[in-house]
Amino acid sequence: MKLKPRFLTAIIFFSSCLSFLNAQDLLNLEDAIRLGLENNYQVRIARNSEAISDNNNTLGNAGFLPRVTATSSLSYTSNNTKQEFFSGDSREGQGAGTTSARSGLALTWTAFDGFAMFAAKDRLELEASRSRIFTQQGMQDLVTQVQRSYFGLVRIRQQISIIEQSIQLNQSIKDLAEAKLQIGTGTSLDVLQTSTRLNADSSALVNLQDQLAQSKIGLNRLLGRDAGTTYQVTVEVPQSLLPTLEELNQLALQQNYGLRLLQFDEQIALTQIREARSALFPTIDINAGYNFNYSKAEVGFLLSNRSFGPTIGISASYDLFPGRNIKKDIANAELFKENIILNKQSARDDVKAQMATLFQQYLALGNLRNLETRNLSTAQRNTALAEELYRSGRATSFEVREAILAETLVRDRLSDVQFRQKLAEVELKSLAGIPLFNVN
């Protein structure tokens, strides 16, 4: 289908107007990260889990505090009673009632349980700290995803800009070819060939606009917003300097969230071993209480009876034969700790390997970016010269189209290199544990 110049101009004008309107709803990267951390469901779930761990980290949950219980009862019974005494006397009662009331307050405190309570408190504190690191890891992962998605949108916007510029260049050549045809110095072939190129660019522009709309929906999902929320992103990919590979490796060993979680797992495993070994010791409980008892009977030796007062005592227990479960639990806890240590060593090696691969990719892309920047400067001069020669009749429309295509390809390669280098930078920072967000 042949597109008329006015229609192509309308496409470009409409796209420019749309960009201008969307600029009023510009979403920068910092705002995107803030929205994601506030609204993303997985981050909110992780924060709730962190609050649960904090709530569990108490002295009472570890077993330090005593248990206090209060009891009370009141009962009435009615019996037919016949009592005969050694003296020969007897006493009978039909429907004789007996009333009794009891109440008490009891305190039980485990004074010694083989140091299990101390190990449990250490475990609870470690689990609370681990939960905070887990939440931060989730936030770091989310910010990494947001940056990938955001710079993916920037990449598509750059592609759209490149195609729009190609359309404008080809349109100017088409206008010149039509002018030459009218004065008899050009051919219809030149006009048809430039029209074909314009049609191809226009089709690519429509596809890119569709990709942009779909990618915006994906970013909205990450940010916890309505999928139909409209916005615009920047068109630049900022680059920042990274530390050396050795410095990144040192940061990763200290700050990588996955490694830090495994360190907490190792420490928690040690506390679990201490808890398992506590069963080798006896348990000593201190008991104290205050009881009140009252009873009243219509038939019997006593008309009423009342007693009250404190009680105190100490008890000790020791499991002489637990069916070898203690040794099994200790052995399993030791093996669990050993597995965690092995996992941590494997994870450290994996992080170093990933870091080396990404850093090499980052350096190579940096060199390629400098090369493509120089290529772009050359391609721009080549396009300008080819257009000038075509106007003077010393170059064909094919040569001009080839120059425009070469410049378009260089621009696209440069945009792709910038995008890939930025992704490598984000991944390196994430692996090194460099915060991509502000920790509140």
- Token pair listed for 274: 């201490």
- Cα distance between residue 334 and residue 215, in whole Å: 48
Residues near 350 by Cβ (< 8 Å), separated by ≥ 6? none
Q: How many CA atoms lie within 13 A of 260 on its CB side?
A: 20
Burial of 29 from C-beta contacts in 10 A (0-12 / 13-18 / 19+): middle
- Cα distance between residue 301 and residue 308, in whole Å: 20
Q: How far is CA 146 from the centre of its chain?
A: 11
Q: What tens-digit pLDDT sequence spans the chain (440 residues)?
A: 344 444 444 444 445 544 444 444 899 999 999 999 999 988 999 999 999 999 999 999 999 999 999 999 988 877 666 766 666 677 676 766 778 899 999 999 999 998 999 999 999 999 999 999 999 999 999 999 999 999 999 999 999 999 998 888 878 778 877 777 777 776 787 778 778 888 888 899 999 999 999 999 999 999 999 998 999 998 888 888 899 999 999 999 999 999 999 999 999 999 999 998 888 889 999 999 999 998 887 665 556 778 888 999 999 998 887 756 788 888 888 999 999 999 999 999 999 999 999 999 999 999 999 999 999 999 999 989 988 887 887 877 778 888 888 999 999 999 999 999 999 999 999 999 998 876 44
| pLDDT of 246 | 94
Residue ranges of the chain that CATH labels 1.20.1600.10: 5-63+113-282+318-432
Catalogue the E-assigned strands of 258-387: 283-297, 304-317
| pLDDT of 148 | 95
Phi first, then psi: give them for residue 427, nearest 5 degrees: -65, -40
| pLDDT of 437 | 73
| pLDDT of 436 | 81
Residues near 314 by Cβ (< 8 Å), separated by ≥ 6? 284, 285, 286, 287
| pLDDT of 135 | 94
> What counts of helices (H) and strands (E) characterise the chain?
10, 4
Phi first, then psi: give them for residue 114, nearest 5 degrees: 75, 25
- Tell which CATH classification among 1.10.3720.10, 3.30.750.210, 1.20.1600.10, 3.40.50.620 matches the domain 5-63+113-282+318-432: 1.20.1600.10
Angular region, 411: left φ>0, alpha ψ -120 to 50, beta rest = alpha
| pLDDT of 198 | 84
- Tell which CATH classification among 2.30.110, 2.30.30, 1.10.1740, 2.20.200 matches the domain 65-112+283-317: 2.20.200
Phi first, then psi: give them for residue 198, nearest 5 degrees: -65, -40
| pLDDT of 323 | 59
Cα dihedral across residues 119, 123, 124, 126: positive or negative: positive
**3-class SS shares of the chain: helix, strand, coil, % to 5:** 65, 15, 15
Q: What is the mean pLDDT of the chain?
A: 86
- Cα distance between residue 374 and residue 115, in whole Å: 70
Residue ranges of the chain that CATH labels 2.20.200: 65-112+283-317
Residues near 44 by Cβ (< 8 Å), separated by ≥ 6? none
Q: Identify whether the C-beta of residue 13 lies closer than 8 Å to the C-beta of residue 201.
A: no
Phi first, then psi: give them for residue 93, nearest 5 degrees: -150, 130
| pLDDT of 231 | 93
Q: Identify whether the C-beta of residue 131 lies closer than 8 Å to the C-beta of residue 53.
A: yes
Q: Identify whether the C-beta of residue 80 lies closer than 8 Å to the C-beta of residue 96.
A: yes
Q: Alpha helices of 23-98 — where are they, by DSSP H?
A: 29-39, 41-56, 59-62
